[in-house]
Every structure is written in structure tokens, then in C-alpha cells.
Chain A
């Protein structure tokens, strides 16, 4: 079936570095994308979202880039901190009422001091 996937299962960076986490999606009908952060034993925490009519959106220390041509989504974290260590998932759906999010495989980000 169609799903959203991540390129790398793990990413290790030094504190202060910029992190880039990638995601490829296959459902061309998807028009809404979200990045979530999940810490061990907790539910996913919203980071940032983007709709298909945009190619870039910035938040506090985070930027999401959307390339619809190659169906690619990325999350950039600036000045990565140890508290950013977690599993990151991209999720997608069609932005209509009642539809669920479909999650990618996740990337574990480890930040060392």
C-alpha cells in the first residue's frame, strides 16, 4: 500500500550542529504533512506541518521543506540540542475531515554533548 517512509533509521550529531531528517512519500494525493517527535514511552508531539501548496515553512529552530516533484519531505533542526534526542516521524494524509494520519518509519536522532 502507499505509505510515508524515512531514508535513515538513525542519525547521530554533535550538540550545536544542524540536523536534517528526510522522508519520502508515495501517495501523490496527500496534501498535508506533519513532523512529530516521540520520546520513549510517550505519544507523538507535534513539531511542524506543511500543506502541499507550500514548499517551505519555518518554526522556532525547525524548518520543513516539501518537494512535491520527487515526493520528498525534510525536517531541519538548527543548533541541535541534547533535548532534541528522540524518534522523529513524518506523517501524511489528505486534508479532509475524518482522515487519519499515516506514519513513516521514523528516524532516531541522537545528540551528543
Chain B
């Protein structure tokens, strides 16, 4: 089945630094990937849609300069949290859809803690 690999699984960084999260589709190509954010005991909130070779589409209220998305190839999308602050601490999850099959596959998530 379709597999999405997300790395790192957890990261701790200092305030003011930037953190990059990678999302890879391992056995399929994904022209579109999706980034979600999840707070404790809450649902997944869509942050942005990552489009291969073009700019990402951000949801209302999500700062594009804060959460930089790059989708340079058909198998890799990256989310960079720039100048991270403690309020950016959260669980970030990526997703991709294998257009050859129904259903969306999710990465295992990245636990970001900003201290």
C-alpha cells in the first residue's frame, strides 16, 4: 500500500530557530500533499495544500511566512517553521493521496516542542 514517511518524529528546538519537517511518498508520486496541525485532544486542522512545482495554498489564518512549504519533487514536501516560538509547539502531520488509488495516506507525525 501507499506509504508516507515523515521525519523527524519529534524535535525540540530553541525559540527563534527554524525547524524543517520532511514528508516523503515512498512508493508513489504525489503532485499534492497536505499539512495539518493538531493540538492535544483536538482534531486535525488543515494548514496548507502543497503543490509540486508551484506555490502552496494556505488556509485562512495560517501565516505563509511563518510556515514555509516547499514541494520541489513529486515525492517530497517540506514544512519549515521559521523563527519558532513556544506557541508553535504542536503535532504536525502530512498527508498525500495516491491518485491511482482511493484514500489518503498520512505520515506518522512530528511532535515539535519549542523551548
Interface residues of A in 26-68 (CB under 8 A from B): 32, 34, 36, 41-46, 49
Known: A89-B44, A101-B95. Contact between A49 and B103, CB under 8 A?
yes
Q: Would you give the shortest CB distance from A37 to chain B, in whole angstroms? A: 11
Q: Would you give the shortest CB distance from A111 to chain B, in whole angstroms? A: 18
Question: Considering only CB atoms, which chain B residue lies closest to A101 in the complex?
Answer: B104
Q: Which among B36, B49, B108 is the interface contact of A42 at CB below 8 angstroms?
A: B108
Number of A residues near B (Cβ < 8 Å) is 20
Q: Which among B45, B51, B106 is the interface contact of A43 at CB below 8 angstroms?
A: B106
Provide the residues of chain B in CB contact with A106, threshold 8 Å. 42-43
> How many angstroms from the CA of A104 to the CA of B38 in the assembled complex?
12
> How many angstroms from the CA of A103 to the CA of B36 in the assembled complex?
10
Provide the residues of chain B in CB contact with A49, threshold 8 Å. 102-103
Known: A43-B109, A46-B105, A49-B103. Contact between A100 and B49, CB under 8 A?
yes
Known: A41-B109, A43-B108, A49-B102. Contact between A101 and B43, CB under 8 A?
no
Chain B residues touching A, majority SS: strand
Provide the residues of chain B in CB contact with A70, threshold 8 Å. none
Question: Considering only CB atoms, which chain B residue lies closest to A32 in the complex?
Answer: B102
Provide the residues of chain B in CB contact with A42, threshold 8 Å. 108-109
Q: Which 9 A-B pairs have the closest CB atoms?
A: A43-B106, A103-B44, A100-B34, A98-B32, A103-B43, A43-B109, A43-B108, A44-B106, A105-B43
What would 17 more interface pairs be, CB under 8 Å, given A32-B102, A97-B32?
A41-B91, A42-B108, A42-B109, A43-B107, A43-B108, A45-B106, A89-B44, A97-B97, A98-B31, A98-B32, A98-B51, A100-B34, A100-B46, A100-B49, A101-B95, A103-B36, A105-B43
Q: Can you list 13 A-B pairs with a CB-CB distance of less than 8 A?
A: A41-B109, A42-B108, A43-B107, A44-B44, A44-B106, A46-B104, A46-B105, A97-B99, A98-B49, A101-B46, A103-B43, A103-B46, A106-B42
